[in-house]
A = this chain, B = another copy of it.
């Protein structure tokens, strides 16, 4: 299926409700992007999504320095269920955690949760910057939502209040776990065909401390997994594990929208 010639070139994530004739006010930053960066003008059509109401075609009514106004016209895609896949990641250096946030959004995670571990060298994480990367990636990859950025906290606290139905794939770089494909296949068998909520946990450069490994291995919802014989950087392990999880249990099993028209 080729895109219709009138497909808007811009796609934006908004907070406002979307519906027929809904007015949408964009804040200063998005108005600047629309007007000054992308040179859009009143009358141009833009795609909008908010994670709740599907994707809507909207028309720019006005652009000023302080904001812009659009009016939603027609729904181009209904909101659809998405895989329930979290990524828990220890903060690492700026350019590498930014990469993780971008790629996690592209690979369809529903939440990114920065967790501090024993060997985490970073003492804080810039959540505004990570959120901006995820919004931009979501706008570009055509998903209908933006991953939730959960409040950064120590790993123990994150695990303390865990819903045990959500299985946690612990990327154990010491090799104590099952190969990831086998672990995912075992989870599918346990769940008898349905897909349980999942999470992937990746440590910092330097991996997990022995006491963390023991704590994790003792938790009933944790599945230690191995990514193979090479020592992957933290961001590579995170991206690779998400890709495999989506391909085997997530929406990697679906074809892209519009694909049926080619068959």
Contacts and interface: CB of A to CB of B under 8 A. Distances in A.
Contact of A176 (B231, B248, B252, B262): B262
Interface string A24-48: 0000000000000000000000000
Contacts of A251: 228-229
A75 interface: no
Instruction: Quickly give the copy total for this chain.
Output: 2
Contact of A106 (B174, B232, B241): B232
A173 interface: yes
Interface in A166-182: 173-176, 179-182
A14 to B, nearest CB: 19
A107 interface: yes
B236 A179 contact: no
Which size class do A's interface residues fall under? 35 or more
Contact of A175 (B141, B180, B247, B258): B258
A165 interface: no
Interface string A226-249: 111111110010011111101110
A263 interface: yes
A142 B173 CA distance: 13
5 A-B pairs closest in CB distance: A175-B259, A175-B256, A240-B243, A228-B252, A141-B230
17 contacts: A107-B236, A143-B230, A175-B256, A175-B262, A176-B263, A179-B252, A181-B247, A181-B248, A228-B251, A228-B253, A229-B251, A229-B255, A229-B257, A236-B239, A244-B247, A244-B252, A247-B248
